[in-house]
Homo-oligomer: A and B are copies of this chain.
Amino acid sequence: MGRIVVEVMPKPEILDPQGKAVMGSLPRIGLTGFTGVRQGRRFELAVEGPVTQEHLDDAERAASTLLSNPIIEDVVSVHPLQED
């Protein structure tokens, strides 16, 4: 079974309240070395057999329509998962 990873992040100019909440909580566990946090989403799409170019094309289409909102989010990566 192959898998394709799709990574989606809020656009840089878009407010990211979840990332801000994480950023505000880092000092509580003693971590003060980070200057910002952004939170996005990571999808794994499974396919039968090995990942083909057609699967990747379909994943690109899913990424830009169903898995992200192009107004406020960027698809930062669509790639086959490297299995261990």
Contact = CB atoms under 8 A, between A and B. Distances in A.
A47 B33 contact: yes
Contact of A40 (B35, B41, B58): B41
A71 interface: no
A54 B42 CA distance: 25
Given A29-B61, A61-B29, A46 B37 contact: yes
Copies of this chain, complex-wide, total 2
| Interface bracket on A | 35 or more
- From DSSP, what is the main secondary structure of chain A's interface residues? mixed
Given A7-B42, A39-B41, 4 more contacts: A31-B62, A35-B47, A36-B46, A40-B44
Interface of A: 1, 7-9, 19, 22, 25-26, 29, 31, 33-48, 54-55, 58-59, 61-62, 65-67
